[in-house]
Structure 1
Amino acid sequence: PVSGDTLLRMIHSAPLPDFVAPTVVGIDDWAWRRGQRYGTIICDLERNCVLDLLPDRNADSVARWLKRWPGIKVVARDRAGLYADGTRCGAPDAVQVADRWHLLNSLGDALRHAVGRHRHNVAAAVQIMASAQRPKTGSSTAPPGLAQLRADRKAARRERWDEICRLREQGCPTSRIAHLLGVDRRTVQRWLAAGGEPEHSRPYRPSHLIGPFEAWLEARWASGCQVGQQLWRELQQQGYTGSRVTVARWAADRRARADAGGTVQPHLTWKAPTRRRCAWYLSQDPDQIDAEARLFLGHLFAQAPELATAADLAKRFVSLLSGSDIAELDEWITQAANSELKSFANGIARDIDAVRAAITTSWTTSPVEGQISRIKAIKRQMYGRASYPLLRRRVLLAA
């Protein structure tokens, strides 16, 4: 048997393996602590092995590393500008390749932001879909108390958005706005990117806490006790541990069914898609989504023709990435610059050479993502001892 300190000394004293001078490398970031601190991983894409771990995510660090290996010809990377700058300084003759997955991910983000800017048009399209189904499924009007609560919360979000706009016009950075309003900085960034406050719509989900007491609740309801507050008090004596609001919501749903004669279900109306799902609809061919989604898109495009243009541009960009012809890329950028995808198109224009290389070459950072997953596993094994020198040696020795 040996002690833990002995094993650590053996790892620190073990010689690091030599590797063949790389010509094609992939660069990406890995998280020390997600959202707060990041490092950089560099891999040999031809041999699928880790070449080095850098302790930070910095253009100068990447440039210094690349200068040590002048034979590098291709650098595949994500869309981070600092890696592009580091590659230009450290390997100016290398071909930079933008990763295709990151391009598609950025496209998805652009579509979600576009949907967010047209959220009122989305709500109108959802209302049309729900109205078309209402004769079949009946009304699902919320009880007055719940409707008032939703209205109050919506008004509070509107006031907060107005305050964000006022502070933004005064030149306050997002971090200062977040501090003044007592919210997270990312919340401010999301609201500014979306162009307004979010529209929260909670889908109906039966409570798993209510389930075991359904029979008891139905019996008490039939006996005449139909007040949520009273039901909640009595239910606590039966062992119920949930909140009063959950019981009140059950009572409101039960009352709505009773008002409708007990023959309809108030929550069978068409479910509104999330912003992410709506953006996914925009990126798909019509024959790849169901009939209801196609009908919803028809209503949405009638309300917001700009989204129809964005959807067409998104599909064209996906087809460009899937092919090998770069002749249409410049035309696509010109058209997208006047659409809801303007910000995304400007980013493509700034990184045009790397995007062209992504279309014409097969290099990608997918192997790097696999190595990042392995780093996560090693970090979990090293919980409490994951210092940079030890983590770097373990990753390189395992490579």
Structure 2
Amino acid sequence: MQFIVTKRLLPIIPDGLCVEHVLPEPDGITIFVRPQYSSVPCPCCHAPSSRVHSRYERRLADLPWQGRPVILRLQARRFLCREAGCPKRTFAERLPGIVHPSARRSERLVDIQRHIALALGGEAGGRLVQRLAMPVSADTLLRLATMAPRVDAPAPRVLGVDEWAWRKGHRYGTILVDLERGDVVDLLPDRDASSFAAWLRAHPGVEVIVRDRADVYADGARQGAARAVHVADRWHLLRNLGDAVCAAVGAHHAAVRRAATSCASAGAPPVTLAPAKPSARDMRKAATHAPRHARYAEARRLADAGATVSAIARSCALDRKTVRAWLRDGGPGTWARPPSGGGILAPYLEHLEYRWAEGQRNATALWREIGGRGFTGGRSTVRAWATSRRRTSPDTLNARPSKADTWKPPSIRGVARLLQADRKALAEADRMFVDTLLAGIPALSDVRDLAHRFAALVRKQGTGTLNDWLAATAGTSLEGFASGLRKDLAAVQAALETPWSTGPVEGRINRLKTIKRTMYGRAGFELLRSRTLHAA
């Protein structure tokens, strides 16, 4: 059935089109439209023309209407160009803002599908647009995401740069972040100084470059933005310090092991047996008996207060004989079953107890032993007996001290962390180990003091200067680390004086990894770059 719908009643039609009629169908809605302009400019000479050469029909997919797909059947026109110098004699009218030439989807539909593709990717986006009555293939969505137009933004003033892994340990790319706005500016497909320098030359205006201390980005920044201020990342400075302290500790490996062994033997706690953990059955049994014990406690309280047996019985809703029995026996009693004869295990209990006393705790081994003596039951029966046996009596043969009471000697890197940590924050055993270590290796005392001073400078909590600290490292194990800092002294000094760091860059790298994982590692660089740049 066809019916007339005016533009006033159908406001979903793009501007510039007139509705002629609407044809509802079971699988969608078809809307017949025509352009409302009488003249259009020639795409070659831009002269307006109103002389129609011919007409033809275009079928365009548009935004859905109330959950139903919409097809626009557009009566398009070809015009004659009357300009004598124009090489075109006829031309198809353009509909800017409505549909691109030769396209079969309206611009606004393509825009919605592109945003879905950028957010979800191909397969997930394809499932969503199908439910939203805007069906399109996953490949088309990926193509739309890859071809998404770049957002024009001014060149960043403060640029953060770091690497990200295509394949960890094999291939890396570069991410560039505007630290003032917090947005990803661009991705580079490699980790080369020349690529970074070329990008900087193409985007003049960068005044501050925040980077790690790797030579790649330092060289690229000097080549592409010679006047920019370099800022070394503070986290990388502290990491480099930790590596230097670790190397200093490793040079005294034997002495460190001796100190650790001494502390471990001196501080070894006595072996204590942890109480057996109640089973689920025991916990259910205790919950069942809890109300009876509560009523006994109330009866005991009333009896101690001088109440008669009848009064107690009325107050606790018990029989008088029950009250007398509870008060006489000193408890409510239990509903425990009489001990069984052992069931199918009865003929073999003596052997099991004997082997248990000898130290055999493996239920499977016990099951095999009594199987040779004629036992026909399953392994689970012996395992249940062994479990019950462990609960009824603590196992003194296999006792182990609890983790809270043991002190494990740290690794070389662990020792380095203890030396860099605040003494007040260390456990008592760790403090004793550090004191023993420093007493045996005086050179590490200087390393610890210098490490604390440098960390305070990086965290802007120190009172000295970087130059004072560098001078103090002479003749110590940190002299090599200080020599490396001198090669990049301006960037390190800027790190101590400015608030910039690559922390926001690391956050954007985590987002990039998430996007990369959603595409199962199959995305090409352009698609990954487009989705990362348009990520919310």
> TM-score scaled to structure 1, two decimals?
0.68
Mapped to 2, the partners of 1:360 and 1:41 lie a distance apart of 24
1:294 CA drift (Å): 1.6
| Equivalent in 270, 288, 301 of residue 137 of structure 1 | 270
Aligned-pair Cα RMSD in Å: 3.1
Is the Cα–Cα contact under 8 Å of residues 176 and 187 in structure 2 kept in the other structure?
yes
Counterpart for residue 284 of structure 1: 421
When residues 281 and 269 of structure 1 are mapped into structure 2, their CA distance, relative to the original with a 3 A threshold, is same
Report if aligned partners of 1:137, 1:264 keep a CA contact under 8 Å in 2.
Answer: no
Structure-1 separation of matches of 2:140 and 2:486: 54
What do the CA deviations read for 1:346-391 (whole angstroms, capped 9, x no partner)?
2211111000000111111111111101101100111143211111
Amino acid of the structure 1 residue aligned with 2:270? T
Q: 1:394 to 1:270 in 2, by over 3 A?
A: closer
- Are 2:160 and 1:23 equivalent residues in the alignment? no
2: CA distance, partners of 1:105 / 1:264: 37
2: CA distance, partners of 1:300 / 1:76: 38
2:433 matches 1:273: no
Report the secondary structure of 2:186's partner residue.
strand
Q: Is the CA contact (8 Å cut-off) linking 1:326 and 1:359 kept in structure 2?
A: no
For 1:362 and 1:46, how far apart are their aligned partners in 2? 11
Structure 1's 219 and 34: CA in aligned 2 closer, same or farther, altered over 3 A? Answer: farther
Alignment correspondent of 2:197: 63
* Number of the residue aligned with 2:466: 329
Q: Deviations over 1:318-342 (max 9, x none)?
A: 1111228896212212332422223
2:348 counterpart residue number: none
Query: C-alpha separation between the residues in 1 aligned to 2:445 and 2:514?
Result: 43
Q: 1:102 and 2:236 equivalent?
A: yes
Structure 1, residues 249-283: CA drift from partner, whole Å, max 9, x if none? xxxxx99x64xxx8884985532123333212111
Any conservation in 2 of the 1:112–1:275 contact (CA below 8 Å)? yes
* Aligned positions of 1:189-208 closer than 5 A: none
TM-score using structure 2 length:
0.51
- Identity fraction in percent: 46
| CA deviation profile, 1:157-203 (whole Å, cap 9, x unmatched) | xxxxxxxxxxxxxxxxxxxxxxxxxxxxxxxxxxxxxxxxxxxxxxx
* Structure 1, unaligned runs of 5 or more: 139-217, 240-253
Q: CA 1:266–1:29 in 2, change beyond 3 Å: closer, same or farther?
A: closer
In the other structure, the counterpart of 1:385 is 522
State the distance in 2 between where 1:76 and 1:387 align.
Answer: 28
Q: Alpha-carbon deviations, 1:285-331, whole Å to 9, x = none? A: 32222222221111001221121111100000011112288962122
| Equivalent residues in 2 for 1:163-178, closer than 5 Å | none
1:398 is paired with a residue of what secondary structure? coil
Q: Classify the secondary structure of the residue corresponding to 2:190.
A: coil
Is 1:84 the equivalent of 2:218? yes
Which residue, 469, 476, 490 being the options, matches 1:339? 476
SS where residue 495 of structure 2 aligns? helix
Give, in whole Å, the separation in 2 of the partners of 1:61 and 1:219. Answer: 77
Larger radius of gyration: 2
Q: Which sits farther off after the overlay, 111-120 or 268-277? A: 268-277
- Are 1:356 and 2:490 matched, yes or no? no
2:196 aligned counterpart, secondary structure: helix
Distance 2:207 2:462 in 1: 22
Q: Is contact 2:367-2:379 (8 Å) kept?
A: no
Counterpart of 1:34, as a letter, is K
Residue type of the partner of 2:414?
R
Greater relative contact order structure (CA < 8 Å, 6+ sep): 1
Distance of 1:384 and 1:293 partners within structure 2: 44
**Code of the aligned partner of 2:232:** A
Quickly say closer, same or farther: Cα 1:301–1:233, change in 2 above 3 A: farther
Contact 1:137–1:269, Cα closer than 8 Å, also in 2 = no
Which residue identity is paired with 1:368? Answer: V
Question: SS in structure 2 opposite 1:137?
Answer: coil
Q: Is the 8 A contact 2:186 2:529 kept in 1?
A: yes
> Structure 1 CA distance, aligned partners of 2:155 and 2:236?
27
Q: Which structure shows the higher strand fraction?
A: 2
Output aligned runs, 1:358-377, within 5 Å: 358-377=495-514
Please list every run of 5 or more consecutive structure 2 residues that lacks an aligned counterpart in the other structure: 1-134, 272-351, 370-377, 381-393
Q: Counterparts of 1:62 and 1:264 in 2: how far apart (Å)?
A: 58
SS at match of 1:30: strand
Q: What letter corresponds to residue 11 of structure 1 in structure 2?
A: A
1:49 corresponds in structure 2 to 183
Which runs of structure 2 are paired with 1:96-245 in the superposition (5 Å)? 96-134=230-268, 136-137=269-270, 222-224=356-358, 231=365, 238=379
**Secondary structure at the counterpart of residue 279 of structure 1:** helix
Q: Does the 8 Å contact 1:27/1:365 carry over to 2?
A: yes
1:144 paired residue number = none
Q: Structure 2 CA distance, aligned partners of 1:300 and 1:294?
A: 10
When structure 1 is superposed on structure 2, of 380-389 and 306-315 the one drifting more is 380-389
Q: What residue number does 1:306 align with?
A: 443
1:223 and 1:325, CA in 2 relative to 1: closer, same or farther beyond 3 A?
closer
* 1:26 alignment partner, SS class: strand
Distance 2:147 2:250 in 1: 55
Q: Could you give the per-residue CA deviations for residues 63-118 of structure 1, whole angstroms, max 9, x where no partner exists?
A: 11111122111000011111111111111100000011111111112222222222
CA shift, 1:62, in A, is: 0.7
CA distance in 2, matches of 1:106, 1:299: 26
Q: In the alignment, which residue of structure 1 is the partner of 2:335?
A: none
Aligned partner of residue 40 in structure 1, secondary structure: strand
2:142 matches 1:8: yes
Q: Check conservation: 1:324, 1:359, Cα contact below 8 A.
A: no
User: How far apart in 2 are the matches of 1:88 and 1:384?
Assistant: 33
CA contact (8 A) 2:246 2:413 kept: yes
- Rounded Cα–Cα distance in structure 2 between residues aligned with 1:271 and 1:335: 34
- Kept in 2: contact 1:99–1:364 (CA 8 A): yes
